[in-house]
C-alpha cells in the first residue's frame, strides 16, 4: 500500500531524472509533497474563445481551430518556428523557440486542434507563444471544467514538467490503488465546523468538480493550516502560563500616586486608562505579564510605560526601558526626567556611548538598587548589566529587537521580569494574532485630545518652488520642518536626489544667517547626531535634514511640516511613522510627499493611501495586502514555523479569528490534548512544529 512518504521517483511517469528536477525546483520529494503542491489558479476549459475576441491583456485562453503554414527561421539558439492558427473569426500566429522538433513531428498541418495559451499583441498582430496543443477528441473527455494550473520553472518545463504534466502526475497519484491519505483533523471537529474531509478536499483542489466544491475544499485546507498555527501558539502560551510564575506587584504606592496627583501634565485618555488597567491586572495575577501594546504613532505609549514602571517601583522592583536607537533612548530619558521632576525616583541612561567611568558607577547603582528605572539601547541587556531586582522590562518599537535579544531579559532575575512590548506603528490584527499570538494584546485606539490630524498632500518634484514658498511661510510662523531622504548613497546608478544633493539645494534656498539647518544621517557618529538633534529640539535650527534615522520616536512638538523626498521609495509604515513626527503640538501640521511624475502602480497606491487616511491600523492593513505578510516588520524574526501553502494572513483575516476561537475551544476542554479524540491534533502539532520551539524563552 503506497504511503504518502513514498519517494516521488516511484510514481508512474516520474523516474529518477524528473524526480531530481522536482526535488530541486519545487521541493517535491514525496507523494505527500506533490499532493500539497497546489494549483495557483484554474482555467475554465469549457469556454472557447474566438480569435476576434482576443486582446493582449487577457490571461490564458482556449481556442479551437486549424494549424497550418509552418515556417522555420534562424539557427541554433536563435531558431524559431511559426505557424498560422485560424478559426472562423480570424487568424493568429503561433511561435515556438523550444521543443521545435516535437511540434514538427506531432502537429499535422491542416488538422484541427484545441490550443491554450496567453495571447500577446506584437505590433498590430496577435500571437501565442508555446501554446498547449491538444487533439480535439481528448479534449472532449475532460473530467472537469475547471482545470488546475500549476507554477513551474523554466528548468521544469525543459524536462517536460509543465503545468499540464504536473496535472498528469496528480492524476497518477490519485489513481494509485489503495492510496491512503490519513485524515489530519478529528472527526468530531470536521463535523462541528462543517469541514470537508481531507481526501475529498485534496481531490477537489486538484480536480474540482465545480466552483462550490472547490471553495469548500480550499476552505478546509486553509482552515487547517491556520488552525494548527493557532493551536500551537495557544497551547504554548497555556503551557507557559501554567508554569511561569511572575512577580506580584500588589500595590499602587507613593511613586505612582505622587506622579499622578502632582506631575501628570494632562488627563490620561480613556484608552490609556484602560490599557494601564490591563497591565495592572497582569501584574497582580501571579503570572508573568507578556503583553503587546499596540498604538498608533503619538497615542501616548511612553506615558503608559512610565506609569507601569512606577508601579514596579512601588513594589520594590526596578524597570528597564529599551529603545532601538541612541537618539530615542536619549529622548525617552529626557522626557521621563521631565515627567518625574521633583519626585524621589532615580532614572538613568545607559547606551553604547556611555563613558566607562559613568558606566561603572551606573552598574554599581543598579546592583545596589539605587536606580529605579534604567533606560537604554540594547546595551542594557548585556550580561555585565546586573540588576538588584529587575521586575519589568519594556521594549519600545519592538521590531528592531530580535527574539534572541528579548530572551536575554529573562535571565536577569530569579523569575522572568514582566514584559511589555510596544509597537512603533500598528500591525494588522491577524498578523498580531499569529506573530505575537502568545502575547496578550492591548490597544490604544485613541489619540490625546486637541490633536489636529496631519494634512497630507502629494507634490511632484516640478512643484518644488511652491513647496519652498510654503516652508518659508511656516518658518516665519516660528515652526520647524523635517526634510527626509531615503538613504545616503554615492551610487551613481541612482538618479535619486540623495541627502547630500538635497542639502546643497536646501542650503541655497534657505541660506544662513536667516536660516539654520541640522543634518542627521546614519553615517554620523552618535555624538554628532545627538548634537545636531539637540539643536533642532531646542529650536535653534529650523530645518532638520535627515535620513530615516529619525524615523522612530523623536518628539519635537514645534515641528509642523514633514517633507518626504522620493516618497515613492518608502514603505507605507515607514511613511506613517515619519508623518507621526509632526502633528504633536497644537498647530496644524502638514506632510508633503514629494515624488517624480512617473510612478509605479504600487507607489501611487501607497501615496494615495497616505493622503487618504491618518489611521495607522488602516494603513497597516493596506500595507499587508500589498506586500504580503511575510515582508511585514517583525515577521522575519518571529519565525512562524509552519509555512502557509494556501492560507494567506493578508486576505484570510476573518478565518484567523475563527480558527483562533476553534483552537481556544479545544484547549479549554482539553488543555494538554490528551483526550483520545484529540490524538490527531497532538500528532499533527508534532509533525508541523517538529523542532521543539523554545517559546518559553521568547517574550
Ligand atoms: P507614541 O505612542 O508614538 O510613543 P508618545 O508616547 O511619544 O507617543 O506621546 C506623544 C506625545 O503625546 C508626547 O508629547 C506625550 O507627552 C503626549 N501625550 C501622551 N499622553 C497624552 C495625553 N493623555 N494627553 C495629552 N498629551 C499626551
Ligand atoms: Mg514612542
Q: Are 367 and 386 in contact (CB under 8 A)?
A: yes
Q: Are 592 and 457 in contact (CB under 8 A)?
A: yes
- Most confident listed range (40-54, 481-495, 530-544): 530-544
Q: Which of 302, 332, 449 to mutate to test the pocket of ligand 1 (most atoms within 8 A of CB)?
A: 302
Q: What pLDDT was estimated at residue 695?
A: 40
Ligand nearest to the CA of 555: 1
Q: How far is ligand 2, taken at its centre, from the CA of residue 544, in Å?
A: 19
Q: Are 623 and 571 in contact (CB under 8 A)?
A: yes
List of residues 6+ apart from 50 with CB closer than 8 A: 63, 87, 88, 89, 90
Q: Does the pLDDT at position 489 exceed 60?
A: no
Per-residue pLDDT reduced to its tens digit, 158-209: 888 888 899 999 999 999 988 889 999 999 999 999 999 999 999 999 999 9
Q: How far is ligand 2, taken at its centre, from the CA of residue 106, in Å?
A: 68
Q: Does the pLDDT at position 133 exceed 70?
A: yes
Q: Where in the chain is the domain with CATH 2.40.50.140?
A: 46-141
- The ligand 1 atom at the shortest distance from the C-alpha of residue 269 is 23
Q: How far is ligand 2, taken at its centre, from the CA of residue 576, in Å?
A: 13
Residue nearest to atom 1 of ligand 1 (CA): 298
Ligand nearest to the CA of 444: 1
Homologous superfamily in CATH for domain 254-444: P-loop containing nucleotide triphosphate hydrolases (3.40.50.300)
Cβ < 5 A residues, ion ligand 2: 553
Q: Are 267 and 300 in contact (CB under 8 A)?
A: no
Q: What does the DSSP assignment read for 392-452? A: EEEESSGGGS-HHHHHHGGGGSSSPPEEEEE-SS---HHHHHHHTTTSEEEEE--PPTTPP
Mean pLDDT of the chain: 86
Angle at 336 between CA 330 and CA 337, to 5 degrees: 90
Mean of pLDDT values over 407-423: 80
Q: Which residues line ligand 1 (CB under 6 A)?
A: 266, 268-269, 272, 295, 297-303, 448, 555, 584
Cell 536606580 -> residue: 371
Please give the model's pTM, rounded to 2 decimal places. 0.72
Q: How far is ligand 1, taken at its centre, from the CA of residue 301, in Å?
A: 7
Q: Which of 260, 263, 301, 303 to mutate to test the pocket of ligand 1 (most atoms within 8 A of CB)?
A: 303
List of residues 6+ apart from 614 with CB closer than 8 A: 453, 454, 456, 579
Ligand nearest to the CA of 328: 2
Write out 147-212 in H/E/C secondary structure. Answer: EEECCCCHHHHHCCCCHHHHHHHHHHHHHCCCCCCCCCCCHHHHHHCCCCCHHHHHHHHHCCCCHH
Q: How far is ligand 1, taken at its centre, from the CA of residue 517, in Å?
A: 26
Pick the CATH number of 46-141 from 3.40.50.10470, 2.60.40.1180, 3.90.1150.10, 2.40.50.140: 2.40.50.140
Q: Give Cα separations from 430 to 141, 312, 646, 657 (angstroms).
A: 44, 31, 16, 7
Q: Does the pLDDT at position 293 exceed 90?
A: yes
Q: How far is ligand 2, taken at its centre, from the CA of residue 388, in Å?
A: 27
Q: Where in the chain is the domain with CATH 3.40.50.300?
A: 254-444, 455-613
Q: What pLDDT was estimated at residue 354?
A: 78
| SS3 label, residue 43 | strand
Architecture in CATH of 455-613: 3-Layer(aba) Sandwich (3.40)
By C-alpha distance, which of 52, 148, 581, 688 is closest to 327? 581
Amino acid at each position: 500500500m503506497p504511503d504518502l512518504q513514498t519517494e516521488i521517483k516511484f510514481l508512474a511517469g516520474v523516474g529518477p531524472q524528473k524526480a531530481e528536477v522536482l526535488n530541486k525546483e519545487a521541493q517535491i520529494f514525496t507523494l505527500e509533497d506533490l499532493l500539497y503542491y497546489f494549483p495557483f489558479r484554474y482555467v475554465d476549459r469549457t469556454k472557447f474563445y474566438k480569435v476576434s475576441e482576443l486582446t493582449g491583456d487577457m490571461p490564458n485562453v482556449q481556442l479551437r481551430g486549424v494549424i497550418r503554414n509552418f515556417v522555420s527561421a534562424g539557427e541554433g539558439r536563435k531558431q524559431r518556428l511559426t505557424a498560422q492558427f485560424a478559426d472562423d473569426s480570424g487568424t493568429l500566429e503561433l511561435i515556438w523557440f523550444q521543443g521545435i522538433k516535437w511540434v514538427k513531428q506531432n502537429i499535422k498541418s491542416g488538422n484541427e486542434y484545441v490550443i491554450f495559451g496567453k495571447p500577446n499583441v506584437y505590433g498590430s498582430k496577435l500571437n501565442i507563444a508555446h501554446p498547449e496543443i491538444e487533439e480535439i477528441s481528448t479534449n472532449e473527455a475532460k473530467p472537469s471544467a475547471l482545470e488546475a494550473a500549476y507554477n513551474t520553472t523554466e528548468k521544469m518545463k525543459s524536462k517536460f514538467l509543465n503545468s499540464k504534466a504536473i496535472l498528469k502526475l496528480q492524476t497518477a497519484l490519485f489513481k494509485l490503488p489503495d492510496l491512503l491519505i490519513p485524515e489530519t483533523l478529528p472527526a468530531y471537529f470536521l463535523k462541528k465546523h462543517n469541514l470537508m474531509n481531507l481526501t475529498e478536499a485534496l481531490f477537489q483542489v486538484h480536480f474540482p468538480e465545480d466552483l462550490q466544491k472547490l471553495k469548500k475544499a480550499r476552505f478546509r485546507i486553509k482552515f487547517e493550516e491556520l488552525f494548527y498555527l493557532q493551536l500551537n501558539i495557544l497551547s504554548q502560551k497555556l503551557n507557559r502560563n501554567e508554569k511561569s510564575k511572575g512577580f506580584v506587584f500588589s500595590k499602587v504606592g507613593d511613586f505612582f500616586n505622587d506622579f499622578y496627583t502632582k506631575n501628570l501634565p494632562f488627563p490620561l485618555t480613556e484608552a490609556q486608562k484602560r490599557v494601564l488597567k490591563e497591565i495592572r491586572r497582569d501584574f497582580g495575577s501571579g503570572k508573568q505579564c507578556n503583553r503587546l501594546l499596540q498604538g498608533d504613532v503619538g497615542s501616548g505609549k511612553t506615558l503608559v510605560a512610565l506609569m507601569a514602571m512606577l508601579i514596579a517601583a512601588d513594589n520594590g522592583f526596578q524597570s528597564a526601558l529599551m529603545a532601538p536607537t541612541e537618539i530615542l533612548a536619549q529622548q525617552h530619558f529626557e522626557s521621563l526626567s521631565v515627567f518625574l521632576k521633583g519626585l524621589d525616583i532615580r532614572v538613568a541612561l545607559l547606551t553604547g556611548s556611555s563613558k566607562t567611568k559613568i558606566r561603572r558607577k551606573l552598574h554599581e547603582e543598579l546592583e545596589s538598587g539605587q536606580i529605579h528605572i534604567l533606560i537604554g539601547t540594547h546595551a542594557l541587556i548585556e550580561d555585565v548589566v546586573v540588576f538588584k531586582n529587575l521586575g519589568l522590562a519594556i521594549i519600545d518599537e519592538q521590531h528592531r529587537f530580535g527574539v534572541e535579544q528579548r530572551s536575554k531579559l529573562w535571565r536577569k532575575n530569579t523569575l522572568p521580569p514582566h514584559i511589555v512590548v510596544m509597537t512603533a506603528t500598528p500591525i494588522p490584527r491577524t498578523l498580531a494574532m499569529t506573530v505575537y499570538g502568545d502575547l496578550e494584546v492591548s490597544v490604544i485606539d485613541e489619540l490625546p485630545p486637541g490633536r489636529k490630524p496631519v494634512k497630507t498632500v502629494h507634490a511632484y518634484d516640478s512643484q518644488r518652488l511652491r513647496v519652498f514658498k510654503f516652508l518659508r511661510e511656516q518658518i516665519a510662523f516660528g515652526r520647524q520642518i523635517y526634510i527626509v531622504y531615503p538613504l545616503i548613497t554615492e551610487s551613481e546608478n541612482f538618479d535619486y536626489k540623495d541627502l547630500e544633493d538635497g542639502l546643497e539645494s536646501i542650503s541655497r534656498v534657505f541660506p544662513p544667517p536667516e536660516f539654520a539647518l541640522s543634518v542627521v544621517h546614519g553615517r554620523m557618529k552618535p555624538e554628532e547626531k545627538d548634537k545636531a538633534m539637540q539643536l533642532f529640539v531646542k529650536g535653534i535650527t529650523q530645518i532638520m535634514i535627515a535620513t530615516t534615522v529619525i524615523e522612530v520616536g523623536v518628539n519635537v512638538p514645534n515641528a509642523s511640516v514633514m517633507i518626504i523626498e522620493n516618497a515613492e521609495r518608502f514603505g507605507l509604515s515607514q511613511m506613517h511613522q515619519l508623518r507621526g513626527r509632526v502633528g504633536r503640538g497644537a498647530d496644524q501640521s502638514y506632510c508633503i510627499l514629494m515624488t517624480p511624475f512617473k510612478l509605479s502602480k504600487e507607489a501611487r497606491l501607497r501615496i494615495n493611501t497616505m493622503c487618504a487616511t491618518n489611521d495607522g491600523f488602516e494603513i497597516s492593513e493596506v500595507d499587508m495586502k500589498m506586500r504580503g505578510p511575510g515582508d511585514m516588520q517583525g515577521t522575519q524574526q518571529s519565525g512562524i514555523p509552519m509555512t502557509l501553502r494556501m492560507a494567506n494572513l493578508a486576505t484570510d483575516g476573518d478565518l484567523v479569528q475563527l480558527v483562533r476561537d476553534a483552537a481556544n475551544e479545544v484547549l479549554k476542554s482539553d488543555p494538554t490534548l490528551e483526550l483520545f479524540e484529540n490524538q490527531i491534533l497532538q500528532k499533527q502539532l508534532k509533525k508541523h512544529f517538529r523542532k521543539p520551539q523554545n517559546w518559553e524563552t521568547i517574550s
